[in-house]
Chains A and B, each alone.
Chain A
Amino acid sequence: MSAVHPIDIAAQRRGGRTRRLLRWLRAYPPLVVLCVVWIVVMLFLAVFADALAPFGYTQLDLLARLSPPAFAGGPAEHWLGTDELGRDVLSRLLVSIRISILVAFLGTLLSASLGIFLGLLAAHFRGRVEQLVLTLVDFQASMPFMVISLAVLAFFGNTLLLFILLMGFYGWERTARVTRGLTIAANEQGYAAAVADVGASPWRIYTRHVLPNIASTLIVGVTLTLPEVILLESSLSFLGLGVQPPMTSLGNMVGYGREYLQAAPWMLLAPSAVIVMTAFSVSMVGDWLRDRLDPTLR
């Protein structure tokens, strides 16, 4: 018996380690980890785009127009090839990542703030104010956002600031609806009434007590809005109605690259891949966060 004992312990220890590994893998699936890594890399590239880009993103090299990527037999200095004016695709890609991420983040931030603010207003005042907010929510939800944004862009012209503001209206109605529902529920619970009884101002109650309690659900909702804003920005820029040249964004690169689909597919494949993988990564991480944080799904 005693001879078998040490083997048993070793097996148990191994079993424990495997179990721990399995538990870790279930809590942090490898795909989700990869997605987080991708997002971090994209953020890094966005921040250091200027330092990393081998060429200026508007720098022309007319002798090397439409040259294929280095790995496909093109010149070694242009890793991802060049476009119709001989501009380096890699450098443009890096700058595009910066602009697209900037627009998507600022837009989502604005939309979340607007939604939370209006949702809190509706839940706090009820009555007329609530009816007004809900009517606006219905209006926003009943119109395809693409059509609204096209109309706005057409008639106000297009600047980066206006474009970001416009993206800030995407998805606010969902955040507002969720915030209102959760806040009404929170106000009925003891803790909000308790801090109100000891004399806290509404501002203090909402920022210090209610919002932290409903934050996890809101954060999940916002993470699911972010990839949609990325896709919307790239679609509008693809149509030529989003980010305007000489500035560049991912959708913009695909839009101009499409003229050269046959002759120079690399011009649009690299930005397309970045759009898809970034939107995919953010969605995966958002889904994973929802499964972990949203108490209504348990």
Chain B
Amino acid sequence: MQAFVFSRLVRALVTVFLVLSFSFVILRMSGDPAMMIMSADAPPEAIAAFRQSWGLDAPLWEQYLGFFRNLVLGNFGYSMRDRSPAMELVLQHIPATLAITLPAFFLKIAIGIPAGVYAALHRDSMVDRVVMGLSVVGHTIPSFVLGLVLVLVFAVNLGWLPSGGSTSWQHAILPIATLSLGGAAVLARFTRSAMLEVMGQPYIRTASAKGLTWGAVVRGHALPNAAIPTLTIIGFMVGHLIAGAVVVESVFSWPGIGRLLVTSVANRDLAVVQCLLLLVAGTMVLSNFAVDMLYGWIDPRLRNGHAAGSAA
């Protein structure tokens, strides 16, 4: 078990390191930030002073080391626009994002998993076809189209809900609906195929053969085994709590992380984008790590390292 935890921990750390290096390389090699922030006709002294104050005149490897030193010291740089601490700016936007992604997360699970399980248990029935049809549609409608259609129907035509903004709880309804419908479709599809695979296994036949009721077979044998692959995708959704609403937030002018990312990208605000990358990478790595640990807890085979490679 210790070796299992250790190997996953090393992998998580390597991923964080790669993300950091990636962001450093992207941010530093892509052009001269001094020229991007200051206008082209700025006096050369001003540009030189800017470079010095941001440490852009040092050799690249020194900047790379300094980059890590600053991160360890908790110094994440300042927004190049208004000089406010970048991490603070990013953290301020988190509650707004969680206010729509968390309810959407629970709705996805509440809709997607029962729908998938039901469809699998009643394979080829009418309900199964409808659920699968809806899930393909849900999977292929991009969130901005779904969001705009909902706005067109519920805000423009019916006038029941506001179309964008964030001043009341009614404003959150359409973004949450947009996020959860698409996610529920993906989850239902995934749960169904996991369930179908488990239901075809010999141990299900054995359980039925020894006289267990249908309900006991499903509850005691099928669901726990189908939970293992389903966990992966739920873990993935946890990782997306922070960054999964980029498009939806833009559609509904919701003042969260996603909109901050889009505006910072458009303004080329290096420090803020870097903090966002770091934050997103951190949540993804943490949730992947948590899922790995849960796997080890649920499925003893992985703990002992028999199938550790294939679970990745």
A84 CB to nearest chain B CB (Å): 16
Determine the chain B residues whose CB is within 8 A of the CB of A138 once the complex forms: 11, 14-15, 312
- Count class of interface residues, chain B: 35 or more
**Cα of A175 to Cα of B149 in the assembled complex, Å:** 34
**B residues 200-214 in Cβ contact with A at 8 Å:** none
Determine the chain B residues whose CB is within 8 A of the CB of A265 once the complex forms: 152, 156
Contact assessment for A283 and B243 in the assembled complex, using a CB-CB cutoff below 8 Å: no
| Stretch binding the partner chain, chosen from A58-66, A68-76, A236-244 | A236-244
Contact assessment for A135 and B14 in the assembled complex, using a CB-CB cutoff below 8 Å: yes
Contact assessment for A150 and B261 in the assembled complex, using a CB-CB cutoff below 8 Å: yes
Give the residue among B140, B273, B285, B288 with the most A Cβ atoms within 10 A.
B140
**Shortest Cβ distance from A227 into B: residue:** B140
Contact flags B258-291 to A (C-beta < 8 A → 1, else 0): 0001101110101001001100110011001000
Determine the chain B residues whose CB is within 8 A of the CB of A146 once the complex forms: 243, 246-247
A156 within 8 A of B: yes
Q: Answer whether A143 and B280 are a contact pair too, CB < 8 Å, given A231-B142, A265-B152, A275-B145.
A: yes
Contact flags B222-251 to A (C-beta < 8 A → 1, else 0): 000000000000000001100110110011
**Shortest Cβ distance from B11 into A: residue:** A138
Determine the chain B residues whose CB is within 8 A of the CB of A241 once the complex forms: 262, 265-266
**Cα of A142 to Cα of B240 in the assembled complex, Å:** 10
Q: Answer whether A144 and B284 are a contact pair too, CB < 8 Å, given A280-B136, A283-B139.
A: yes
Contact assessment for B18 and A135 in the assembled complex, using a CB-CB cutoff below 8 Å: yes
Determine the chain B residues whose CB is within 8 A of the CB of A139 once the complex forms: 14-15, 18-19, 22
- Say which residue of A151, A258, A280 sits within 8 Å of B23 (CB atoms): A151
**Cα of A235 to Cα of B148 in the assembled complex, Å:** 13
Determine the chain A residues whose CB is within 8 A of the CB of B243 once the complex forms: 144, 146-147
Contact assessment for A284 and B136 in the assembled complex, using a CB-CB cutoff below 8 Å: yes
Contact assessment for A156 and B148 in the assembled complex, using a CB-CB cutoff below 8 Å: no
B27 within 8 A of A: yes
A268 within 8 A of B: yes
**Shortest Cβ distance from A146 into B: residue:** B246
A234 within 8 A of B: yes
Contact assessment for B247 and A144 in the assembled complex, using a CB-CB cutoff below 8 Å: no
**Cα of A272 to Cα of B152 in the assembled complex, Å:** 13
A194 within 8 A of B: no
Contact assessment for B285 and A142 in the assembled complex, using a CB-CB cutoff below 8 Å: yes
Contact assessment for A238 and B140 in the assembled complex, using a CB-CB cutoff below 8 Å: no
Contact assessment for A154 and B288 in the assembled complex, using a CB-CB cutoff below 8 Å: no
Interface residues, chain A, with chain B CB atoms under 8 Å away: 134-135, 138-139, 142-144, 146-148, 150-157, 227, 231, 234-235, 238-241, 251, 254-255, 258, 261-262, 265, 268, 272, 275-276, 279-280, 283-284, 287
4 pairs of A and B residues whose beta carbons are closest in the complex:
A155-B30, A154-B265, A279-B140, A280-B140
27 residue pairs A–B, Cβ–Cβ below 8 Å: A134-B312, A135-B11, A138-B11, A142-B239, A142-B281, A142-B285, A142-B288, A144-B240, A148-B22, A150-B273, A151-B273, A153-B265, A155-B26, A231-B140, A234-B142, A234-B144, A238-B144, A239-B247, A255-B144, A268-B148, A276-B141, A279-B141, A279-B142, A280-B136, A280-B137, A283-B136, A284-B136
Known: A150-B273, A261-B163. 4 other contacts (CB 8 A): A138-B14, A152-B26, A239-B246, A241-B266
